[in-house]
Structure 1
Amino acid sequence: MTSCTDVFIGLDMGTTTSKALVRTGDHRDLVVVDAPTPWHSHPGGRTETSPELLLRLATDLIRRGVHAAELIVGRVRVRGIAVAGFAEGGVLLDAAGRSAAPVLAWFDRRGQEQVDRLAAAVPGFAELFAGKTGLPWNSQASIAKLMWLRDNGIAITPSSRWLSIPEWIVHQLGGEQVREPSLASRTGLIDQNTGKPWLAGFTAAGLPDGLLPPELPAGHCAGRLSHDAVPAECAQATLTVAGHDHPVAALGGGAVGPDELFNSSGTADVVARSIPGILTDQQRRILVASGWSAGRHVLPGATLVLAGVRGGLLLRRVLTALGADSPEGRRALDHASLAVTALPSGLEVAGAGLTGDDVVIHLRDDVTPAVLWAAATRYTAAETRALLAGIEGVVGPHRRAVASGGWTRMASVRAAKASAIDHLTFSPVPQPGVTGAALLAMHAVSDGSIGLGEFIAEASRDTNLTASHLQGAIT
């Protein structure tokens, strides 16, 4: 009889690119496959996709991952699949369980009119919202998208349900309808003091209070896979919702303890901090006013404090402007900028900010490309330092920090970050989002004899030792 290798799949349904990692039970990563997330942009800043396209993308990634893994180790059996991904955007289901509306991107600003109207009608609601939900009162949270859908002809009844994208995909693959806490925290419909639906918020928004399904934490079995579009090797695999992509990436990168910080350095420069226990309404209001959000972490009993700047986007634009966006040009610029000490007077790079979309450069004579690149890396690092300073008076300093992501492959970026973030190390894990999801898939299959926090901590140690041995290329 032909031998069979047990594997686990972690999916990360991303904003720009979605990925799947196939890993063995001894934490050996076999292959990562990816594909663009199928967004459609329309005039007026509207960006959306369909639930069906996202499900098709997920099943295609699973299929490709299985086939690529079998080219490496032969026949495989998929034991578990975990799905992480972006939040805020989700799927509205009608009474029959069918999708009833498009998926609005998390950054789509539809709903701002409804947000402004409710704030005007209920004085003090924005502060109340920030304290209860840990989110700013704007168009990003799911509650704003739901109000927009309702006001634009989409029926939302007591029989309707709202699922995040990872929850929807798990359900469509054969799992139950569940509410994972880190994803539900981005809806604006959860009271962070209790972790339960915030009934006053539903009432104020004019939404039925049964929209969200029952809670099931990340890394717990949500059902068994039963779907015709995936290979037979996946039949009856354990399904779990891994959670919001940022805390899941923190797990994959090895930031798994209390008061640990994870810095994901990609197009967005995201900082995710774990805080033991639950914050107060006042602490959440202060954090939101400082540009952060506060909700449930994937780790049990922990709060996730999250913020970001557009550092990666700024760096990419500066590289392009300098003509150094090829691998060779990037390496040369990276090396030359390490020799830059003090920046010349009058040189300034700005624009990453919380909402800034533009790069602004002020310079005088004698500014070389290396000096300009050094100024850009130091600016983005300083933006992160300012974010951290804004919360340390509320939740105290972090005790350990881990950075990962594409930009950390450049020595100049690593040096700038190390000067701005205390106790910083760099993760060897190349794809922390799907790595964290795969770890949660493994926990969902385990016998439950070890708690999630301890399981992830032990598995992360093994992951950091084997991360450099990825056998399959990204395909």
Structure 2
Amino acid sequence: MDHGDLDIGFDLGTSNTKVVAVDATGALVASASLETDWTHLGGGRAERDPVGMLATIDDLLERVATAARARLGHVRVRSIGFASLAETGVLLDRQGRPAYPLIAWFDPRGQAQLDDLPVRIRTDFRVTTGLDLTTVPTLFKLMWLHDNGIRLNGSQWLGLPEYICHHLGGARATDISLFGRTGLIDVATRGAWPSALDLLHVTPEFLPPIVASGAPLGRVRDDHRVEEVRGAVLTVAGHDHLVAAAEAGAARPGFALDSMGTAEAILAVSERLPPAADRERLAGLGLSVSPHVVDGLTSVLAGLKGGFLLARILRMVGGTNDPARHELDARAAALWPQHPAAVTVRGVGMNDQAITVTVDDGELDPALVWLAALGHVTDRARELLAIIESAGIPATTLVVAGGWTHLASVRASRRSLVPDLAICACDQPGIFGAARLAARAAGLNDDRADLSTYPAPAIDVFPLAP
């Protein structure tokens, strides 16, 4: 592979769709980003036009190829990989055409179907699928489609990145890590849950063949408008948080990833599937158990609105921009782990509908409000790690990733969670992980190819003081 041969990674996110092109060493050559264009219908409902979404992908491929060509001259794309949000996908009819827009994972459609779920499905759902009973799993969106006159039998379901790969020239497939988020899986067998298929009145052919994350799915078709990507190997890298964990070196027992984006995710891994009782308990507490992008591992994922809460508090106390943000951060880092008794912040839970700030002494000290927010986020993260450990999955090393790690006060707050803390050197491990998994699908066979032992790219490690 010469300097002009590139691997491309996509991060298909809720807010933005991002792409990077990297060289043989994994170094960034070019990047591009576009806002994810949901159509909001009111009442929390949101969807995307499948044809418009594909046009966005093609546009981003053209932009990044053009930028790489301007920098390097002649370029050729060796591979393209997609890390993605989960649950959202497209139903293809018998002619291979989208039968309905892509419904957002956070869309509440399916609530009525969930409320009327047969007792036998409700009883078995958490232990079988490893997910909680909410409208997020794909199953309930599909039930809504069925009840609203959309024909499912004879159609086929593809997740968002699987649909994109198929559009570009790849085979239809079901990525195992994204399949784990659908509510259609039996996590014990890693195959389709027959009761869920019966509920939808579909046959097993409703799902394309299940494949490992990062499996080669074919090549970009020869008539694609971007010449540089023609013939590139295609792969679905998998669920974005899990891809990020692999890239950050946290896809191994004893490690956990704290992905501090707008929606914060804490992700641990296990070499075994937790017992049925633990799966049911974890799912009932809002955590999920599903296959990892690293073959043979099981992920345990907990979500919280850490980044969302911290961003709101920063705006509230006037710390959005420097120098105010720098001063606030430095003062809070110096005071941590002080928890001001006079200030209380609440609202980090995924089901919390509002953020509340209570100031008892009548004064609004920005640093103390920020400390209280950090304390609340950290306390909830500690609770989640304890819940995961109670299922026999302890984490002694926490790898923290995301833009919030640039703040010293945030780094200080994470130190109390585990014996060892590592700050990921890569701000966006999900998208770079997608590029690396794509390179592996195209034949990469160096030491970066083994996801289970890939070293954490830490910029600093803080052993917990005795």
Shorter chain as denominator, the TM-score bin is: over 0.9
Change (3 A) 1:330 1:293: same
Once residues 324 and 13 of structure 2 are traced to their aligned partners in structure 1, the CA distance between those partners, rounded to angstroms, is 28
- The answer as to 2:439 corresponding to 1:442 is yes
Secondary structure, aligned partner of 1:156: coil
Match of 1:471 in 2: none
Aligned ranges 1:135-146 → 2 under 5 Å: 135-146=131-142
Q: Which letter does structure 1 place at the counterpart of 2:429?
A: P
**Range that drifts further, 438-447 or 90-99:** 438-447
Q: CA deviation at 1:92?
A: 0.3
Match of 1:283 in 2: 278
Match of 1:72 in 2: 71
Once residues 50 and 254 of structure 2 are traced to their aligned partners in structure 1, the CA distance between those partners, rounded to angstroms, is 36
- The answer as to 2:173 corresponding to 1:178 is yes
Structure 1 segments (4+ residues) deviating >4 Å: 227-230, 449-453
Change (3 A) 1:380 1:110: same
Provide the aligned C-alpha RMSD in A: 2.0
Q: Is the 8 A contact 1:401 1:423 kept in 2?
A: yes
Change (3 A) 1:327 1:103: farther
Q: CA deviation at 1:395?
A: 2.4
Secondary structure, aligned partner of 1:219: coil
Out of 392, 400, 416, the position equivalent to 2:413 is: 416
- Give me the TM-score of the superposition, normalised by structure 1: 0.92
Once residues 130 and 91 of structure 2 are traced to their aligned partners in structure 1, the CA distance between those partners, rounded to angstroms, is 23
- Give me the TM-score of the superposition, normalised by structure 2: 0.93
Q: Is the 8 A contact 1:156 1:208 kept in 2?
A: no
Q: Which has the higher contact order (CA 8 A, sep 6+)?
A: 1
Q: Is the 8 A contact 1:256 1:453 kept in 2?
A: no
Secondary structure, aligned partner of 2:22: strand
Counting matched residue pairs gives 456
Match of 1:187 in 2: 182
Q: CA deviation at 1:339?
A: 2.6
Q: Which letter does structure 2 place at the counterpart of 1:84?
A: A
Once residues 455 and 410 of structure 1 are traced to their aligned partners in structure 2, the CA distance between those partners, rounded to angstroms, is 29
Once residues 340 and 105 of structure 1 are traced to their aligned partners in structure 2, the CA distance between those partners, rounded to angstroms, is 41
**Range that drifts further, 173-182 or 378-387:** 378-387
Match of 1:392 in 2: 389
Secondary structure, aligned partner of 1:430: coil
Q: CA deviation at 1:367?
A: 4.4
Match of 2:85 in 1: 86
What whole-Å deviation, never above 9, does each CA across 1:17-36 have from its counterpart, x for those lacking one?
A: 11111111122222221110
- The answer as to 2:133 corresponding to 1:134 is no
- The answer as to 2:201 corresponding to 1:201 is no
Secondary structure, aligned partner of 2:204: coil
Match of 2:324 in 1: 329
Q: CA deviation at 1:279?
A: 2.8
Once residues 240 and 141 of structure 1 are traced to their aligned partners in structure 2, the CA distance between those partners, rounded to angstroms, is 23
What whole-Å deviation, never above 9, does each CA across 1:354-376 have from its counterpart, x for those lacking one?
A: 21131111112354111111111
Out of 343, 346, 350, the position equivalent to 1:350 is: 346
Match of 1:378 in 2: 375
Change (3 A) 1:38 1:260: same
Out of 404, 409, 413, the position equivalent to 1:407 is: 404
Q: Which letter does structure 1 place at the counterpart of 2:109?
A: R
Match of 1:469 in 2: none
Match of 1:55 in 2: 54
What whole-Å deviation, never above 9, does each CA across 1:134-158 have from its counterpart, x for those lacking one?
A: 011221111100010111121112x
Match of 1:34 in 2: 33
Once residues 128 and 358 of structure 2 are traced to their aligned partners in structure 1, the CA distance between those partners, rounded to angstroms, is 42
Q: Which letter does structure 2 place at the counterpart of 1:20?
A: V
Match of 1:10 in 2: 9
Q: Is the 8 A contact 2:257 2:268 kept in 1?
A: yes
Q: CA deviation at 1:190?
A: 1.1
Change (3 A) 1:272 1:446: same
Q: Which letter does structure 1 place at the counterpart of 2:426?
A: V
Out of 207, 215, 233, the position equivalent to 1:238 is: 233
Match of 2:463 in 1: none
Q: CA deviation at 1:261?
A: 0.8
Change (3 A) 1:323 1:46: same
